[in-house]
Structure 1
Amino acid sequence: MSSSRSENGMLILDVDMITFTAIGAVLLILGTWIVRRYEILWKYSIPGPVIGGFGFSLLMWGAYELGLFEFQYDNTLYDLFMYVFFVTIGLSTGVSILKKGGKLLLIYMLVCWFLAILQNGISVGAAWLTGINPLSALMAGQASMQGGHGMAASLAPLIESFGESNALTIGMAASTYGLIAGSLIGGPVGNWLITRKNLKIQTDTDDLNALASEIEEKKTAITWQNVLIEGSLIFVILSIGLPTAQWITNVTGFSIPGHIFSLFLGIIFRSINERTSWVPMTDTAMDMISNVSLNMFLVMAMMKLKLWELYDLALPLAVILVLQTLATMGVAVFILYRLLGKNYDAAVMSAGFIGHGLGATPNGLVVMNAICTKYGVFSRKAFIIIPVAGTVLTDIVGVPIFVFLANLLGN
């Protein structure tokens, strides 16, 4: 581990890629253990990598404040985990899911896309009101709200490329708020809809049987052959997507991150492969690769946080997050609930929408589970639609919007 001195005399310790990854893996295991150990963390779906990585960043904050040292990381494997995660999102999204999801999935997806536009608009608009850089504020929009920690950390480098070094810290702070707020607010809103509207506690699933069957059929046992084939496919897509995105950026001047371009290559390949079956693919193996890459990438992102960069942004960030909360609640109650049919299923999905729209898909599931447990009726529609839409489909529009706005504001 080499070292140097910053301009202000701070000791800078250079952490190589293997050591960075090793520390991250240990923190991931520790964070996962802590979440399982303490019920309140499990209850609000706080991810293990967030706990492990955030605890480490708190220690680094203390070291910085005491003038002891600061870490500088080799991002080689950090970037690789991020790239792999994005390609798995694309390879998990096929046309057949959209076709078999029916009207309800389409409605939910369209409202999610509307919310993505709204959340980005709120963050940029509030930036001008509070006097902070709109590029920094953009990290408190759709990227960290609907996107969560993983998406915020993935999109932060784009904002940083325009000179905003605090992008990652803002995104992680906003995402953490969203996890907690979505979990706390979604349930009460869903319960209010049910009691205020005197809804009948009943549900039906007939129109989603095709989608449920497809999801179940693709859950097969994981073998090393599955992992090898799909892992190889991921690297082939990256080998095409990364240089192509760089070429487009150089030719057009429009900054397109390589992992974002590779995501859409994954979607195209998945849609073609559903018809041709060129490559044998299983959702189980793809989910495993996705989860490993996401968790490693996320814990390493949390380790890199420079919490001292939030000193001057605390109040503007709080204003933006309050506005995001109110807007998400409003969309859930006044738009989504009505479009989904104004019934028990609609109320459950609207509650889950708040959990997902502010935090992440697991938060939406926790909120819906609490409501269904209270009323004793399981809404199968909700537990099919929200994971499908929240995990992959919302990013199809949300990510390009973010990239467009970042280029518009940064150039």
Structure 2
Amino acid sequence: MEESGGMLILEVDMITFAAIGAILLMIGKWVVNRYEIFWKYTIPSPVIGGFGFAILMWIVYEFGLFEIEFDNTLYDLFMFIFFVTIGLTSGLTLLKKGGKLLLIYMLVCWFLALMQNGISISVSSLTGLDPLIGMMAGQASMQGGHGMAASLAPLIESLGGDNALTVGMAASTYGLIAGSLLGGPIGNWLIKRNKLKIETEEGNLDELSKELKEEENEKITARSVTVAGAVIFVILAIGLPTANWITELTGFSIPGHIFSLFLGIIFRSLFEKHAFVKDSNKAMEMISTVSLNMFLVMAMMNLRIWELYELALPLMVLLIMQTIVTVLIAIFIMYRVLGRNYDAAVMSSGFIGHGLGATPNGLVVMNAICTKYGVISRKAFIIIPIAGTVLTDVVGVPLFVFLANLFAGL
């Protein structure tokens, strides 16, 4: 405990930080299960618990009582683990198994990532907002959601962008709500306006569908979790120092966890068919989910809401522009290139949910459309989870890192 500028500073160690985060995570899960509005808009439980804590700290700050400083050691570790698990579930053969439809969807997602980053930078320049901060209201928060925004915020802050985490969390929350509100009505409008037949085409996704079902039936064992954990830590042990070495050598800032993500992709791609280490996708997904929830709730706890005051207006302008462009791409590009049929309309609605508020949002939006018309689009529920949770980051993350370094040097 110490004092700075007349404000009492409470220092919290890494274990206590994680313990408080775990308690808030459980509270968040209880709130989601208890109140319909939260699961309706797929607002994650870590956001509810962590954001509630951030609001409490905002009130405490306004009364001049104290601030809290956390030891981020475990927060960083959870973030690193999450990124490696993304890579280890992203083998390049996945894109091949998804076929033409997955490739088309991914190309449009990558185009959206380019547009969202471009909008964030250009609107920031026009409104006087630091482009580095504006980027946190672009692809990182829109397609990436809270998890990706929290993961990329340290890069922006290391390059001189203040309040990156707070802006990213605010933009992600906006995206969740906007994607949920707009995706369903626009999908329904596409179906009605084009008088589409309410029927679905199975397509050639049998191999991918079979693999996903096998993964669902896979059992998690102590051995599978141990092997997955060992692979994760070996990759981190190689990736973190290598990224630091490359950064020092080139002057181009490459975060260690992002470099480790691509090491994970390389590992998975090399050993998918002839693995000398048999890792379990289900165990990897469990580790990924736990680490994501923990680092996300801890990220929300770190928010300094009072620092958003003067950013409110330019940030709102930026987010409205992101919404308009994402909706237009869904209507005029995604719907058309996917075939102008019922499946295309469902995936376009999911694209809005995914493009503004991360993958779970897209699934909820598509479920609402399919429930209304009584026909499940199997294509949509195979393609979008794979694209959103895995393959979008393959291009989106390095693009973000490149642009961040570019504008930090200007």
Q: TM-score range by the shorter chain?
A: over 0.9
Q: Which residue of 2 aligns with 1:145?
A: 142
CA apart distance, 1:206 = 3.2
Q: Which residue of 2 aligns with 1:299?
A: 297
CA apart distance, 1:165 = 2.4
Aligned counterparts of 1:211 and 1:278: Cα–Cα separation in 2: 23
Q: Is 1:242 aligned to 2:230, yes or no?
A: no
Q: Which residue of 1 aligns with 2:54?
A: 57
Q: Which residue of 2 aligns with 1:180?
A: 177
Q: Aligned letter for 1:337?
A: Y
Q: Is 1:94 aligned to 2:91, yes or no?
A: yes
CA apart distance, 1:273 = 1.1
Q: How does 1:346-361 map to 2 (within 5 A)?
A: 346-361=344-359
CA apart distance, 1:245 = 0.1
Q: Which residue of 2 aligns with 1:129?
A: 126
Aligned counterparts of 2:339 and 2:230: Cα–Cα separation in 1: 44
Structure 2 SS opposite 1:218: helix
Q: Which residue of 2 aligns with 1:337?
A: 335
Structure 1 SS opposite 2:273: helix
Aligned counterparts of 2:99 and 2:403: Cα–Cα separation in 1: 31
- Which range is displaced more, 268-277 or 229-238? 268-277
The answer to whether the 8 A contact 2:14-2:70 is kept is: yes
Aligned counterparts of 2:137 and 2:220: Cα–Cα separation in 1: 37
Aligned counterparts of 1:9 and 1:243: Cα–Cα separation in 2: 39
Gaps of 5+ in 1: none
Aligned counterparts of 1:208 and 1:88: Cα–Cα separation in 2: 24
Aligned counterparts of 1:30 and 1:273: Cα–Cα separation in 2: 40
| Percent of aligned pairs with the same amino acid | 72
Q: Which residue of 1 aligns with 2:362?
A: 364
Aligned counterparts of 1:206 and 1:109: Cα–Cα separation in 2: 17
Aligned counterparts of 2:279 and 2:213: Cα–Cα separation in 1: 14
Q: Is 1:383 aligned to 2:381, yes or no?
A: yes
Q: Is 1:44 aligned to 2:41, yes or no?
A: yes
Which residue, out of 237, 260, 277, partners 1:279?
Answer: 277
Which residue, out of 11, 24, 29, partners 1:27?
Answer: 24
Q: Aligned letter for 2:317?
A: V
Structure 1 SS opposite 2:159: coil
Structure 2 SS opposite 1:143: helix
CA apart distance, 1:313 = 0.3
CA apart distance, 1:256 = 0.0
Q: Which residue of 2 aligns with 1:224?
A: 222
TM-score by length of 2: 0.99
Aligned counterparts of 2:95 and 2:143: Cα–Cα separation in 1: 19
Q: Aligned letter for 2:344?
A: A
Deviations 1:96-129 (A, max 9, x none): 2111101110000010000000000000000011
Q: Is 1:257 aligned to 2:255, yes or no?
A: yes
Aligned counterparts of 1:380 and 1:315: Cα–Cα separation in 2: 41
CA apart distance, 1:32 = 0.6
Structure 1 residue runs of 4 or more that deviate by more than 6 Å after TM superposition:
none
CA apart distance, 1:162 = 1.6
Q: Which residue of 2 aligns with 1:207?
A: 204
The answer to whether the 8 A contact 2:85-2:284 is kept is: yes
TM-score by length of 1: 0.99
Aligned counterparts of 1:27 and 1:260: Cα–Cα separation in 2: 27
Q: How does 1:400-411 map to 2 (within 5 A)?
A: 400-411=398-409
Aligned counterparts of 2:132 and 2:326: Cα–Cα separation in 1: 21
Structure 2 SS opposite 1:14: strand
Q: Aligned letter for 1:378?
A: I
Q: Which residue of 2 aligns with 1:396?
A: 394
Aligned counterparts of 2:28 and 2:150: Cα–Cα separation in 1: 18
- Which range is displaced more, 168-177 or 217-226? 217-226
Q: Aligned letter for 1:264?
A: F
Which residue, out of 250, 264, 267, partners 2:265?
Answer: 267
Aligned counterparts of 1:137 and 1:115: Cα–Cα separation in 2: 16
CA apart distance, 1:84 = 0.1
Deviations 1:224-266 (A, max 9, x none): 1000000010000000000000000000000000000000000
Q: Aligned letter for 1:106?
A: L
Aligned counterparts of 1:100 and 1:397: Cα–Cα separation in 2: 19
Q: Aligned letter for 1:171?
A: G
Aligned counterparts of 1:388 and 1:212: Cα–Cα separation in 2: 11
Q: Aligned letter for 1:351?
A: S
The answer to whether the 8 A contact 2:203-2:379 is kept is: no
Aligned counterparts of 1:163 and 1:269: Cα–Cα separation in 2: 33
Q: Aligned letter for 1:13?
A: L
Q: Aligned letter for 1:283?
A: N
